[in-house]
Amino acid sequence: MTALEPQPPSSRLTVDLLTREYPPHVYGGAGVHVTELAGVLAPLADVRVRHFGEQAAGGTESGGTPAPAVTGYATPTELTGANAALATLGTDLVIAGDCAGADVVHSHTWYANLAGHLAGLLHGVPHVVTAHSLEPLRPWKAEQLGGGYAVSSWAERTAYLGASAIIAVSAGMRDDILRCYPELDPARVHVVHNGIDLAGWRRPTGDAALAAADETVRRLGIDPDRPAVVFVGRITRQKGLPYLLRAAAELPSSVQLVLCAGAPDTPELMDEVRTLVNGLREARDGGIVWIEQMLPREELVAVLAAGTVFVCPSVYEPLGIVNLEAMAVGLPVVATATGGIPEVVDDGVTGALVPIEQADDGTGTPLDPDRFVADLAEALNRVVRDPARAAAMGEAGRRRAQEHFSWTAIAERTMEVYRSVTTG
């Protein structure tokens, strides 16, 4: 990330970032976003991160650069073992009480939204919400959370309708917010894209780094001398992994499929994915690499750098940080033309967008799943069969990530939102 000019104490806001995910507890795009945002805001404001889980490392200075103060919160003892949604709300109550002294509270995902809402009411300060996803557009979570989905939906709705400002991570997400919550004043909903740490996401260079990357991918079972389609994501309905596994049956036998996929939402979904993977392995006689554990960034960069094309078959994706990460490493991206993805992937320049007609019931289910699978397979084949074109798209993707999704610009835009709600 790029360091910004620190602001004098007299003009600095105190900002409390409220989040479920923060190192060492990052497992999705929202956690990546908050981690990077906290770092780039620290020179501009007094940032205090309040996250779920045990205390993470944190400090006030790092090499002369301000760093956020960090506090972790365990589930209240009385709620340990309780319904997960109720345990979340219990943690929210403790966090809300600790936000005294903030000029603005900024919550991320429904897990922390109620903490932000209550902190705003309790301490009389503005509450800003960043929308990384929307509960009404993830109805499959009822499979995972049961009655907890009704609780999470209530918490999100309450926070959104009471927020001083809402940040959408894409224009597509802004449209979804206003469609799901039509009572909102559109002037309160601002677009600030997700960003990418370009220094942390780049191809290895130099003999030592290249040798280490080669050792990593070979240890993981990837042949760096073969073309590869790479997928990275949790095993959840929104990521569309079963559609990719069906499309992969049409890939040339010389092409590897590398799946960095774990943390299934439900045992039933895991069983579905495992059955499809096993079927592919039998039909293709190898070339399927499934990495279920979460990889450290350095190893994931090595996997991406060994790939030919990155694939994002999501049926719901407000923006897709994972696509930016792949682009920053120099991979072309084949992705579904849904949500905020078309704002990231420049069709025909940095990759290919796969058309999709979707149900409007909130599930995002393709109306013609066979057509979607066929179009996905065709787009992947078009890219992997032209390695020179794929490489050129990857270079264009790196440039696009650098020009349009730098954290410096995102920090400045976020500060503008804070100033708008603190100055009236």
Question: What tens digit of pLDDT does each residue of 392-414 get?
Answer: 999 999 999 998 898 888 999 99
- When pLDDT is cut at 50, 70 and 90, the band that residue 63 belongs to is low
pLDDT at 4 over 70: no
Q: Which has the minimum average pLDDT: 4-18, 114-128, 357-371?
A: 4-18
- Residue 269 is predicted with a pLDDT of 93
- Residue 8 is predicted with a pLDDT of 57
State mean pLDDT over 56-61.
53
214 SS3 class: helix
Pairing outcome for strands 309-312 and 228-234: parallel
Q: How many CB atoms lie within 10 A of CB 385?
A: 14
Question: What tens digit of pLDDT does each residue of 139-191 get?
Answer: 777 766 668 899 999 999 999 999 999 999 999 899 999 999 999 999 999 99
Q: Are 19 and 215 in contact (CB under 8 A)?
A: no
- Lookup result for tokens 């993981």: 220
Question: What tens digit of pLDDT does each residue of 236-279 get?
Answer: 999 999 999 999 999 999 999 999 999 898 899 999 999 999 99
- Residue 1 is predicted with a pLDDT of 43
- When pLDDT is cut at 50, 70 and 90, the band that residue 6 belongs to is low
State mean pLDDT over 380-398.
97
Tell me the one-letter amino acid at 267: P
E strand or H helix that includes residue 36? helix 29-41
DSSP annotation of 203: -
